[in-house]
Amino acid sequence: MLGIKMGSVLFLLLLLSLTACTSRPDYVLDENEMTAVLIDMHSSEALIDLQRTQFSTQEAQRDIMASVFVRHGITRARYDSSLMWYSRHLKRFIRIYDRVNDSLKVRDEYWKAIAYENASWGVSDQGDSVNLWRINPYLVLDGKFLSSFQSFVVPCDSNFRKGDSLVWNLRISQLPAQHYLVATIAATYPKDSAAAQTALALRDTTMQLSAVTDTLHNFESIILSISLMGTDITAEPVTFVDSVSLMRFHK
């Protein structure tokens, strides 16, 4: 009888040891949490790649990555520990990354749609004072992304001149607390040089950004970007931008 009981105890101990090896420890993020964090991590990396001017320093890049942990209410140490644990449990890790990839594909289609819209600028009008903004003058920055952003590339044509002044006008409304908006205008030249201005909005306001081009060299394009950022981990804000115009003035 004792032998049976001892055998049962040994079996239970073996079963518990096997369970301990495969069950998720409390300090490890669950699969839903890990999926959400990885989606935001990859989205942040894409944001840094797309807006190198804005995130040119290591400090700025660390800040945007750190905001992921703030948003999800975790520490870097817990993220690293979770990543290490899942890397040793490949079936779970593969399941997580299948979900991450599906989400990123949806976002990729969203940005492809924006890129398609950006391709429809057409040839600019002639004249000394021209509004170059040919698309919807109303933008929505959707807080379901970690850092909502939109970028636009306006190509130059024969109606542009050396020394043109460019002014981007924006009106910001319903900017939530603990969030801010960053906008940039840049006139690009060959060899990756640019004339640029970046502005920050901390509340509802009207923004006017300008770039004065070189009088000696032709510029190639105008790059515009607008980003919604914040540290409130509970909010998924939406901010509205209207009365958008991009004015070109000949010298």
The CATH number linked to 163 is 2.60.120.660
Give me the pLDDT at residue 170, please.
96
Question: Which 3-state string (H, E, C) describes the chain?
Answer: CHHHHHHHHHHHHHHHHHHHHHCCCCCCCCHHHHHHHHHHHHHHHHHHHHCCCCCCCHHHHHHHHHHHHHHHCCCHHHHHHHHHHHHCCHHHHHHHHHHHHHHHHHHHHHHHHHHHHHCCCCCCCCCCEEECCCCCCCEEEECCCCCEEEEEEEECCCCCCCCCEEEEEEEEECCCCCEEEEEEEEEECHHHCEEEEEEEECCCEEEEEEEECCCCCCCCEEEEEEEEEECCCCCCCEEEEEEEEEEEECC
Block mean pLDDT (10 aa), the chain, length 251: 41 40 84 89 72 67 78 86 83 83 68 55 87 87 63 85 93 87 83 74 92 82 81 68 94 84
Where in the sequence is the domain holding 33, given as residue range(s)? 2-117
pLDDT of residue 110: 56
Same domain flag for 95 and 209: no
**Which of 73, 100, 117 is a domain's end point?**
117
Of 88, 117, 146, which marks where a domain is finished? Answer: 117
Same-domain status, 243 and 130? yes
Note the pLDDT of residue 32.
Answer: 92
- pLDDT of the residue at 87: 75
* Total of domains in the chain: 2
Residue 122 has a pLDDT of 78
Can you give the pLDDT at residue 17? 39
